Amino acid sequence: MGKRSKSTLKKPSAPKKAKLHEQEAVLSDVQEAVLSDEDLETEERESTVNESVYQDGTDNVEVIGESANWTDDVEENMENTAAIHVARSEMSEKPAVSPGLYRPVTREEVQMLKETENLYQSNLFRLQINELLEEVSPKYKGYKEANLEEFLKTLKKYLTDLPSTKEKTLSEAVSSLKSVKYPLLLDGTDGKGWYKFVAPSSVRIIGSWILKSYCRKSFNVDIAIEMPSECFQKKDYMNYRYIKKRALYLCTLAKHLRKLEICKKVYFEQFHGDPLRPIISITPSDESISCSVRIVPYISDCLTKTSRLAPDRNSVRELSMDGVTITPKRSGDDILTATPKYNNKLILDTTGLYVKHLEEIYIASQECEAFSDALLLLKIWLKQRQFDQAAGSFSGFITSMLLVYLLQQKKLTPKMSSYQILRVTWQFLASSDWSKDGIAMTSLSNRVPPVSSFQSTFDVVFVDSSGLYNLCGDVSLANYRHVQYEAKQALTLLDDRAINSFEMLFMTPVNFYESCHLLCCIDLSPLATKYCEDHVVDLLDNVANVREKVLQEVLAVLREGMQQRSHLVAVKPQEVAKWLVSKVPTSANLCATLGFILDASCAFNPLNKGPPADSKEALQFSKFWGDKCQVRRFQDGSINEAVLWSSETMAEKRTIPQQIIAHLLKLHFGMTDVVFPGIPLEALITLPDYKTTETIREATGEEHIKDVIQVFSSLASDLRRLDTLPLMVNTFQGTSPVFRYTEVFPPIKWSGHISRQSITRPIGSAQSKCFYPSSVGPVPKHLPALEAICTLEYSAKWPNNLSAILHIKTAFYARIAEELSTVKGILASPTSDFVDILKNGFVFRVRIAYEREVLLMKNELKFKSGENLKRYKSAVRTAEMETMIKPKLTSALSSIHHQYPSYGSGARLCKRWLASQMFANHLSEEAVDLMVASLYISPGPHSSPATPECTLLRFLKLFKDFDWNSKPLIVNINGDMTATDIAEAEECFSVQRASLPAMVILSPYNKQEPYWTKEKPLDPVLLHMQLIAKKAYEVLLNQFNLCKEGRIRSETASLDFKQIFRSSPSAFDAMIYLNPKCLSRRHHGVDWMEMPSKKASLEVYHHFPVVDFDPVQNYLIELEGVYSEYAAFFYDKYGGSKIGIIWKPNINKPRPFRVSKEVCMKEVEKKGKKKKPKTKDQIEVVTDVEAILQDFHLLGHGLVTLIEVLRHPEE
């Protein structure tokens, strides 16, 4: 195992997808015939299937027994398992389809469709399962299988022929190790007894490889070697002597295997992450063998009576650690401290359970035809969630035994399909609780310890058929809870027919950092030291599991504190340790990363209400919460214990879970070094100097947005009361991002305070109520105009002429401004296209929408042609989008924010990242808002995000991994798109893909027309954006991993998450540097810091402020309008101080000279002799890049300070 390899599962290719859809179509055509066919002879076929499943069951078990003993030869092993695999594939072989479109339906097809309806979720789900199983199931590839067989035969012969050694004391044996290091952290030199090596008495293949139930993309071949009884003494089961001798036996094997030519590298590896059970892992020299071969030692004869290894018995009478001898305590009944975990390890190694478990799994696979397929699918499900390879994990072996248990308990039947087995297994995992009510397989012995004895000593209990061994003895409670939670998520996905649950369950890797809403990194080393001092006796059983024991105590406290606020408290899985046999093993990492999946409905509640103050539970509640607890009287008159958390701003309210975690860790464990990765990201959308009730605190903009919406509602009320207008205002809808709660930096109120040194001056008598920017000094801070659409009441007197409609709307703008000024005293500035209204410090830009105007514009299209038609179509699309679609979208997205409070801040953080990478002018804000909304509407396989940091990480994952070329992103808001609508949208996308833009995002308001990505981004820009998103995603994960590895401490260093918000100039060909004084949004920059200045005297003006003045944005629009044919421009509109330039690929391509089209061109100079003068048609020209750069400088006079050429077009 070692370091977990990335999942290499591939999605079905395009031809295979076509095949799947073709088969699904055939099954759909057959459906009508199935419904009417009542005379099918199903009983005969069922009896045939039963005979094929149950025939020769006894003989098959004997075959496996022979294979497990492996006494004859490996070839016999391979032939037997190959015959089983071939027979199984023949049983599932489908009848051939006869040619012809209208051929009669065969009985087999009808029966298959009936099976699909009864045994699978849908036709497509069945086809996808079959395709996946075909992709990952074991296949015979000739020479590769032969090479592996030859390797195993050679290895088996080599192991059985190894020479014996003389007896040595344990101290001498450990001291004699030179080229191979002792694989245990325990001191092997102390202890009684001797050590002698004797060659293995038997070598057997165990595990999934012999059963052909492994995923061929990544697998191991496990070999169990039986250590002869001559190597052990009678009481070696006590005081870790068996563990130490087992380790010495592996050292001797490793010493010899290093000399074997067929072994390229030899490693030690912790078996299932257990530090006390190392095994040998071999990398074969033959490169055609892609797997690792692992050697697992055991002894068949128990070293003592099995009753002495019961969970309530003691097998460690003394243990030496750091020169101190630890002995067990005796209870009042003279019973020694039990060592259940140590006993559990001995039971597995000394009772032959490896072979017994193998036989049980094989018998179950023969009894149930779909057993192996379902097991393989469950292993894939575990692998995609990183459950199968981590220390203390829910392994594939435990899953195999769980299926055996469910078959024994009749919860599974032999005729169930793989889909039904999956569903029943997930239901059982989700509904049962092995930490409270353990499960046990059928046992024939009445003398085995009861399940209750396991329940009192283990966190998770699953007892095998022997009644002696707890299969989940090494599974931590945190990992088990995580598997339970994922099983519930899997059932939720299966029940949702509107999504492709198959892809989310089996094809999508689930990263720990993505699935958790809040991360917390803690250092357990002080607690581990304290635990070893205070719980010395417990070390007898937990000498190698101090980290897990301490972590369990921490998690218990956090679960109680976050009980109502989180669905799950998870732990980042630790990779299984693997090291070369010549190296010394390293101690366990005592830093842990905790993940919290929050319940957004109550996670940020500022109050923890406790029991009544006079109840018995009040003292316990007060002790748990410490000095934070206080007695409070509530509105219903009750007096209860309660804890109130600081929440003056929304940003501070989102930190309530962090406040709780930090408080509990400090109170109960004295931890002050707690790191919350990702939290610093919110600083990128923070607005300073927001005044709360008592103090001035930093806020992330939610309060500003609420202020805007309140003022907007007041303005709407004012407009509706203007009864002197010819037509009353009917609806008033905001369309700017601030009304969707997604404006990156919401506007701050215009106070009217201007210093005498300000660069703005009031205009003269013409417009005495307005300011304008001066050409001297810095530009004023940006004050946006908030777009809004209003509709008027119905009237039949509207003209049918577009020009007349525009004039009427202009008249309305003037009338509205006049009425607001005279009646309400509100400043308003009308234009021919809109009216700007200043209300309580905010400027609203109001436009009148008339539905028939868009229809009239569409009717005018038939009179346009050429370039006029193209421009007019763009104008029609813009008008329809602004007046009809955007108001609906804004309303829908605002409702998403009310349902998921983190949506707004999450979308703002994502847009801030895009802008920081200078992509803001290449992707519309509506497109980003829809992409983020999809993470909340269809979050599978995760739950919906609850924090902005989680939203950003998933946004980066979506952006980098989504296949924009093959499918559209459909955001089904409120479920308004039916299955038919979605199918039509996908079909339309497939048919029109060549004419559609690079990125297609659809919603209920644009089911087939990609309004938001029609013009941008272009294909090269989209690829570049995906590459940058991939890099940013990797940087974030790397930062999280630094915390996990304990290399960053909060008191000495901080996580620099801002680095993903800094663009690299290496991606551009040239860079335009801008004058900082001309940046109206300079205070929004990523690394901007306001310089201290002298306090200037302020004057109060009652004038209209400078609205929407952004010199850089105007400059950029001019550049794109003239030079977009030659270059692409990139700019961070939130305080960016430079503009990036990338030249188009064909800029150096010579072309014929054309008088009417050439701008900034120069004649191509060819080397050689001078030729006769050329005619106009013979002249070839290329783009004059130097002239274009000069134009850039001239157009930006006063704004541009420097243009740097980073890469010439010729390069």
Count how many Cα atoms sit within 13 Å of the Cα of residue 1168 in the half-sphere of its side chain: 5
pLDDT band at 237 (very low <50, low <70, confident <90, very high): confident
pLDDT band at 561 (very low <50, low <70, confident <90, very high): very high
pLDDT digits (tens, 9 = 90+) for 453-469: 899 889 999 999 888 89
pLDDT band at 1178 (very low <50, low <70, confident <90, very high): low
Amino acid in position 823: V
Q: Is the pLDDT of residue 694 over 50?
A: no
Average of per-residue pLDDT across 104-112: 71
User: Is the Cβ–Cβ distance between 749 and 1088 less than 8 Å?
Assistant: no
pLDDT band at 334 (very low <50, low <70, confident <90, very high): low
Q: Is the pLDDT of residue 486 over 90?
A: yes
Helix (H, G, I), strand (E, B) or coil at 837: strand
pLDDT band at 693 (very low <50, low <70, confident <90, very high): very low
pLDDT for the residue numbered 748:
86
Give the count of beta carbons closer than 10 Å to the beta carbon of residue 606. Answer: 14
- Please state, for a pLDDT cut of 90, what percent of the chain lies above it: 47
Q: Give the full edge-to-edge strand order of the sheet including 607-612.
A: 607-612, 639-644, 629-633
Phi, psi at 587, each rounded to 5°: -70, 160
pLDDT for the residue numbered 491:
93
Which residue is associated with the tokens 């009179």?
863
User: Is the Cβ–Cβ distance between 1020 and 1069 less than 8 Å?
Assistant: no
User: Is the Cβ–Cβ distance between 451 and 440 less than 8 Å?
Assistant: yes
Cα–Cα nearest to 120, from 112, 109, 110? 112
Average of per-residue pLDDT across 47-74: 35
pLDDT digits (tens, 9 = 90+) for 1002-1014: 999 999 889 999 9
pLDDT band at 607 (very low <50, low <70, confident <90, very high): very high
Spatial CB neighbours of 1084, under 8 Å, sequence gap ≥ 6: 744, 745, 1134, 1135
pLDDT band at 687 (very low <50, low <70, confident <90, very high): confident
- Please state, for a pLDDT cut of 70, what percent of the chain lies above it: 82
Q: Is the pLDDT of residue 563 over 50?
A: yes
User: Is the Cβ–Cβ distance between 935 and 896 less than 8 Å?
Assistant: no
User: Is the Cβ–Cβ distance between 200 and 157 less than 8 Å?
Assistant: no
More confident residue, 974 or 1161: 974
Helix (H, G, I), strand (E, B) or coil at 288: coil
DSSP symbol at 278: E
More confident residue, 1181 or 651: 651
Mean pLDDT (the chain, rounded): 82
Average of per-residue pLDDT across 1161-1166: 72
Average of per-residue pLDDT across 171-191: 84
pLDDT digits (tens, 9 = 90+) for 42-59: 333 333 333 333 333 333
Spatial CB neighbours of 404, under 8 Å, sequence gap ≥ 6: 360, 361, 364, 441
Burial class of residue 743 (count of CB atoms within 10 Å of its CB; 0-12, 13-18, 19+): buried
Between CA 1208 and CA 1203 the distance in angstroms is: 13
User: Is the Cβ–Cβ distance between 567 and 597 less than 8 Å?
Assistant: yes
pLDDT band at 141 (very low <50, low <70, confident <90, very high): low
pLDDT digits (tens, 9 = 90+) for 249-296: 999 999 999 999 999 999 999 998 888 999 999 999 988 888 899 999
Between CA 797 and CA 401 the distance in angstroms is: 79
DSSP 3-state percent helix, strand, coil across the chain (nearest 5): 45, 15, 40
Cα–Cα nearest to 1085, from 1141, 1035, 1138? 1138
pLDDT for the residue numbered 622:
94
Q: Is the pLDDT of residue 1053 over 50?
A: no
Helix (H, G, I), strand (E, B) or coil at 169: strand
Average of per-residue pLDDT across 352-366: 91
**DSSP code per residue over 214-233:** S-TTS-EEEEEEEPPGGG--
Tokens found for residue 403: 């299926």
